Amino acid sequence: MTTQEAAGLGEPAAPEEPARRSELWHRLRRPVPLAALVVIVVSVIAAAAAPFVAGLSGNDPFTYHPEALSPTTAPAGILGGVSAEHWFGVEPGTGRDLFSLVVYGARTSLLIGLGSTVIATIIGVVLGIVAGARGGWAEKVVGFATDVTLGFPFLIFAIALSAIFPVDAPRELMLIGVLGLFGWPSIARVVAAETRVVARQPYVTASRVMGARFGHIFRHQVLPNVTPTIIIYSCISLPGRISAEATLSFLGVGVLPPTPSWGRSIGDAINWVTVDPMFLIFPAGALFIVTFAFNILGDAIRDALDPRKAGR
């Protein structure tokens, strides 16, 4: 890191803050990020008010509807049984309402995605700032912990873990924990790099001379300066965690039935893909659209908050 770069990066952020915010809004007001934002708001509403939204169609994701199935237990009617009663058709084999399954699936996805991102961010920020500001042995310990975490084959380990996780304990907690505990290194690395720059600034030295403790410097000087980075990295990493939950549920080692999950529905759809492709299309479409929207929004926020990376 050269001195010019250090000076450019470490400028106190406070005076630019209002400009930055309007810049963020300006960037997000373009049609594509705005559409992504709408998709995310809709999915958050669906997740938060799942019983109400699913109830709009007069269904819930747990009731079996054998009357909606043909004798082969495939959904009766076209497009996987799409009708006024079952908006997305029904699940083959059981006749559960697919619209309700998709709506409740948003709840599982977002809960696990957000929960694990919060955990990963907290661990990453604390370790990153400690490593970056303290340097020395703290940096070495965090570096080694990063290597160990990255040395774990994440998906394989998560699959393995599900074998010994108690059946009656909530799987959501396991997934949030695993995704959170394995997700911090990237945030920690970036935060450590930024902190190293901030910690070298004259105003930090000045407050240290005036007797400020580490906790004070952490909260009042380092944290405000690295906040944009934290926001960027949480937004960028969130879709990855949503899809990781879906992947594990797809492989049969995520959330257990009857909790609806997009990934598990997609996994169930393997056996029906030739008979009832719509059973694949609806949950997969929901998963894809939400992941896509978060990716677009993450990129837009990064471009707005981090001009160095804009347009790349």
Partner 1 sequence: MSGLLRAIRGLAVLFVVVALTYAIFYLGPADPALAMCGKPCSPENLEAAREFMGFSDPWWQQMLTFIGGIFTGRSFGSAGVVIDCAAPCLGYSFQMHQSVTSLIIERFPVSVSVALGAIVLQTIVGVGLGALAARKQGTVLDRAITGGAVFAASAPSYVVGLLLLLVFAFTWGIMPSGDYVAFTDNPIGWATHLVLPWITLAILNGAVYARLVRSSMIEQLGLDYARTSRAAGLGERRIDGYALRNLALPVMTLTALDVGALLGGTVITERVFGLPGMGLLLISATGTVDLPIIVGTTLFSAALIVIANLVADLLGPLLDRRLAAPRSALRTPRQKVKNS
Residue 159 is encoded by which pair of tokens? 């699959």
Q: Closest CB to partner 1 among 45 and 145?
A: 145
Q: Which residues bind partner 1 (CB under 8 A)?
A: 1-3, 135, 144, 147-148, 150-157, 159-164, 166, 196, 199-200, 205, 239, 243, 246-247, 250-253, 263, 266-267, 269-270, 273-274, 277, 280, 284, 287-288, 291-292, 295-296, 299, 312
Q: Closest CB to partner 1 among 59 and 201?
A: 201
Name the minimum Å distance from CB 18 to partner 1.
Answer: 29
Name the minimum Å distance from CB 183 to partner 1.
Answer: 13
Give CA angle at 60 (37, 50), nearest 5°: 25
CA 306/CA 7 separation, integer angstroms: 16
Per the CB < 8 A criterion, the answer to whether 99 and 54 are in contact is: yes
CA 291/CA 286 separation, integer angstroms: 9
Per the CB < 8 A criterion, the answer to whether 234 and 121 are in contact is: yes
Name the minimum Å distance from CB 262 to partner 1.
Answer: 9
Q: Closest CB to partner 1 among 127 and 284?
A: 284
Name the minimum Å distance from CB 162 to partner 1.
Answer: 6
**Residue 33: what residue type?**
P
Instruction: Give the list of residues 6+ apart from residue 306 with CB closer than 8 angstroms, or none.
Output: 228, 229, 232
Q: Closest CB to partner 1 among 19 and 169?
A: 169
Q: Closest CB to partner 1 among 235 and 246?
A: 246
Name the minimum Å distance from CB 142 to partner 1.
Answer: 14
Name the minimum Å distance from CB 81 to partner 1.
Answer: 19
Q: Closest CB to partner 1 among 172 and 245?
A: 245
